[in-house]
Amino acid sequence: MRDILVINSGSSSLKFAMLGLDDLRALDDFSVHYQGQFSGLGGCQAHLVIRDGQGKILRDDHFAAIDDLYDHAAALKDLLKWMDENTDSSRIRAIGHRIVHGGRHYRQPVRLDEGVLDDLETLIPLAPLHQPHCLGPVRMLLTLRPDVPQVGCFDTGFHAGQDPVAQAFALPRRLTEAGLIRYGFHGLSYEYISRRFPAYLHRPETGRVIAAHLGNGASLCAMLNGVSVASTMGFTALDGLPMGTRCGNIDPGLVLHLLTAEGMTAQQVGDLLYKQSGLLGVSGISGDMRDLLESEMPSAKEAVDLFVYRIIREIGSLSAALGGVDHLVFTAGIGENAAPVREMVSKGCEWLGIRCDHSRNQRGEIRISEDGSPVGVWVIPTNEERMIAWHTAHYCH
């Protein structure tokens, strides 16, 4: 059995999973020893939950900072301590990391060493909220676990083969050549869906698929037989759909307006667009879909309506990029759990032949389209951790 530790480090969270593997054939050959997450990182107190493979809680704890903020580095140290005290961490054969940005050059998973890390650090300006948190744990583990290979898996990699016309902004050539293009994100989630979907369809060719990764971050990806052809996210993970706290697509002239007429600094505009917008900004209540669906406030409904409206419009756009659509797949926290959102999105896409069966949707079945619906509508749980482990397993001795 090979044990693989997966680290998925976000802006304020650090998710981890220890997966075991006997024989690398399919994505589902992994068993989960334990998995968990630190949330609230970067503040005074963080919350840790660890569960075993059956979902039983192994640890549920709060950590307070001693004289500074409790950050990703503190969380990783506490995780390693817990692993050393409670598990046989000598069995770890490799560590796989989700790395948000691979830029133009890193498309495939890669063994991480000092040189590669230096290279990836040059991409921090392209994903300032995420990339430093992805790379920090790698650097720490290179020191603390120097004998264990570490592998970087890129969220941008899945989209790297898109046609240049799908990647380009209409900007002067020199900027495009300097790498100011649409990269697209959530690639590990879409890769997982693209690899799992043929088994649901019982055939290798999946046709024209639009996958909707709707979580705190949200995007859509158009795939032709499992290959990404277009995505709603762009140069940064700010583009496309409204998200929990991010604005999604807006007129770039609005940014200029905020900087000039409103006199805001770049830092203030960044905070506004990344942290105070989206579902949170529109509702004024919460960036969490559960809260909004439960709320009676009109502004909660307005936020959900805008989220749904933008998804419907972008599905139209991606259908055009694909020349039609055969399947719509919902995934991630909202996509997998929020039946009302799936129903509203499907209703707005009836003109495309998308017909959602109310009862199947309510029951949360895997295929939720009506019998005879020209377009299949599906709910498929994503699993970025398994995708990372699968890539990382190729580097195990």
Q: Which of 215, 234, 248, 278 binds ligand ADP (CB under 6 A)?
A: 215
Q: Which of 21, 247, 322, 334 binds ligand ADP (CB under 6 A)?
A: 334
| Listed ranges 104-112, 170-178, 304-312, 333-341: which one lies at the site for ligand ADP (CB under 6 A) | 333-341
Question: What residues between 170 and 199 interact with ligand ADP by CB under 6 A?
Answer: none
| N-to-C CA span, the chain | 11
- Report the alpha-carbon distance of residue 242 to residue 256 in Å, rounded: 20
| Listed ranges 169-177, 199-207, 211-219, 389-397: which one lies at the site for ligand ADP (CB under 6 A) | 211-219
Total number of residues that touch ligand ADP (CB under 6 A): 13
Give the residue with the Cβ less far from ligand ADP, 172 or 284: 284
Give the residue with the Cβ less far from ligand ADP, 3 or 155: 155
Min. distance of Cβ 39 from ligand ADP in angstroms?
Answer: 9
In which order are the strands placed within the sheet that holds 376-379? 227-231, 218-224, 208-214, 327-331, 376-379
At 354, is the secondary structure helix, strand, or coil? strand
Min. distance of Cβ 294 from ligand ADP in angstroms?
Answer: 9
What are 49's strand-pairing partners?
A: 37, 60
The label of the residue with tokens 């055939």 reads: 203
Min. distance of Cβ 289 from ligand ADP in angstroms?
Answer: 4
Q: Rounded to 5 degrees, what angle do the CA atoms 19, 101, 2 make?
A: 15
Give the residue with the Cβ less far from ligand ADP, 184 or 244: 244
Min. distance of Cβ 246 from ligand ADP in angstroms?
Answer: 11
Question: What residues between 242 and 301 interact with ligand ADP by CB under 6 A?
Answer: 244, 288-290, 293
Give the residue with the Cβ less far from ligand ADP, 109 or 278: 278
- Regarding 216 and contact with ligand ADP (CB under 6 A), the answer is yes
- Report the alpha-carbon distance of residue 185 to residue 281 in Å, rounded: 22
Classify 42 in phi/psi space as left (phi over 0), alpha (psi -120 to 50) or beta: left
Give the residue with the Cβ less far from ligand ADP, 103 or 244: 244
- Regarding 302 and contact with ligand ADP (CB under 6 A), the answer is no
Residue 79: both structure tokens together:
């995780």
Give the residue with the Cβ less far from ligand ADP, 264 or 293: 293
- Regarding 332 and contact with ligand ADP (CB under 6 A), the answer is yes
Give the residue with the Cβ less far from ligand ADP, 226 or 335: 335
* Catalytic (active site) residue 28: no
Q: Which of 337, 348, 353, 370 binds ligand ADP (CB under 6 A)?
A: 337
Min. distance of Cβ 389 from ligand ADP in angstroms?
Answer: 17
Non-local (6+) Cβ contacts of 341 within 8 A are 214, 289, 293, 304, 307, 308, 334, 335
Closest residue by beta carbon to ligand ADP: 333
Q: Which of 155, 163, 305, 371 is catalytic?
A: 155
Residue 273: both structure tokens together:
């667009």
- Report the alpha-carbon distance of residue 91 to residue 315 in Å, rounded: 45
- Regarding 338 and contact with ligand ADP (CB under 6 A), the answer is yes
Min. distance of Cβ 15 from ligand ADP in angstroms?
Answer: 8
Identify the helix (H) or strand (E) that includes residue 224. strand 218-224
Q: Rounded to 5 degrees, what angle do the CA atoms 19, 216, 156 make?
A: 65
On whether the CB atoms of residues 124 and 131 are closer than 8 A, the answer is yes
Buried b (16+ CB within 10 A) or exposed e, 222-244: bbbebebbbbbbbbbbbbbbbbb
Catalytic residues: 155
- Which residues of this protein are in contact with ligand ADP, per CB under 6 A? 215-217, 244, 288-290, 293, 332-334, 337-338
